[in-house]
Chains A and B, each alone.
Chain A
Amino acid sequence: MRVALFITCFNDTLFPDTGKALVTVLERLGHVVDFPAAQTCCGQAHINTGYRRDAVPLMRRFVDVFAGAEAVVAPSASCAGTIRDLYPALANETGDASLAAAVRETGARTWEFTEFLVRRLGVTDVGAYFPHRVTYHPTCHSLRVLRVGDAPERLLRAVRGLDYVPLPQGDECCGFGGTFAVKNADTSVAMLGDKLRAVQATKAEVCVAADNSCLMHIGGALHRQRAGIRIAHIAQVLASTESERLA
């Protein structure tokens, strides 16, 4: 299959290794990977902060850039969720019926990485090797917007050498929430504190998730506290092999 990557502005700028890991895994599985160079940002932060009109050109751009792609795959549940869950209402507001139709059609082709592997490609064993104790934080948007279900856990359990430890109260939000982390910094930190305690209770070496944004929030605090637990995008674990550790 020919897969168009939507790397997201956030991963492109701050976490390029995540995008590289996607390329590694998809090519290992025999797919052709494409990175449409005109892509920028989906506008999630604009929509979720209330600047809906500013997001409309970004939505149009997204639809144009990925028109005709067989599958659009993103390493972020919240960005994929923007396309599938937030764009339709925004497109309706423009009153542009062809845009609304294009948005719906694009959404149907847009996948978060782990759900793409398990649901669309039907793969759980991607040939990875990662001999570490790992816990997984199911991000809210993977769990309750995209409903990826147990796809990430199934992928992790199929990784050779990996010691998977479920995260207690895993389905509770980490407190990131985009601009919430700054607008409601105190509440965000209170939520983060409980998430850190849960992560530490697993005695994992690595905490993974399907969103680098939540991971930056969790990992930033783990780093500050010198907790000795590192973070990685789940794709980095899935890309790792005996010869190359990528997380």
Chain B
Amino acid sequence: MSDDARAAMLARIRRAIADGAPRHGAHGVSAHDDAPALVRGVPLDAATCIARLVHRVEEYRAHVEVTTHDALPAAIAARVAMRGARTLVIPADLPVAWRPAGVALREDHALDVATLDAVDGVITGCRLAIAETGTIVLDGGAAQGRRAISLLPDWHCCVVFASQVVGDVPDAVRALAAAGSLSRPQTWISGPSATSDIELDRVEGVHGPRTLEVLVVRDARRQGAASSVIAAATGRPPASAA
């Protein structure tokens, strides 16, 4: 029956569009291989890119802090202390330098949901961040873990390297493609969980983490690979190149 339904629907579609509207693509080929260039905003220089990311994330009422590679461990420790967190879940591949002392760290090796629900927070990296929209994108790659660990804990601390910051959404799409991320599970995060369902007014904090902290690492040490991927994908230098 399912095959019949499929054939019937496809036949109805073909009849419906038979009036000769132009058809563009072909099987298996990106629609934009020969498409005109995408509509773009004004490109941002590196410093503006970081500043805009910080401003935009702050506007979602997330905490943002710009730090350096050397100061990052202390910055993480300070945020954890301020939060008063005692147990944190971390991706198994979280860099050692990002792991704060003095709290119980649970590396995620398929922890059950009850455990994830009980911890005080989570520390992750990200694939990239989008300045224009104040968005961090997680794809389950290095230092990010699976989706559930950045979802159930109520506090999420995310480390972003300047070299991972792209200007806008089209840049992000090209960078994800270049990094081979398109088929990975992605979560685009713009501020803490929120709702506008009551009188269309945004309030923070429903089911996802109610507190989001973003630490932006200004210098690009050890992120050379990511930065060259982004530059190649977007045709623009990564934000830290200046």
Direct contact of A and B (CB under 8 A): no
Residues in A lying within 8 Å of B, measured CB to CB: none
Residues in B lying within 8 Å of A, measured CB to CB: none
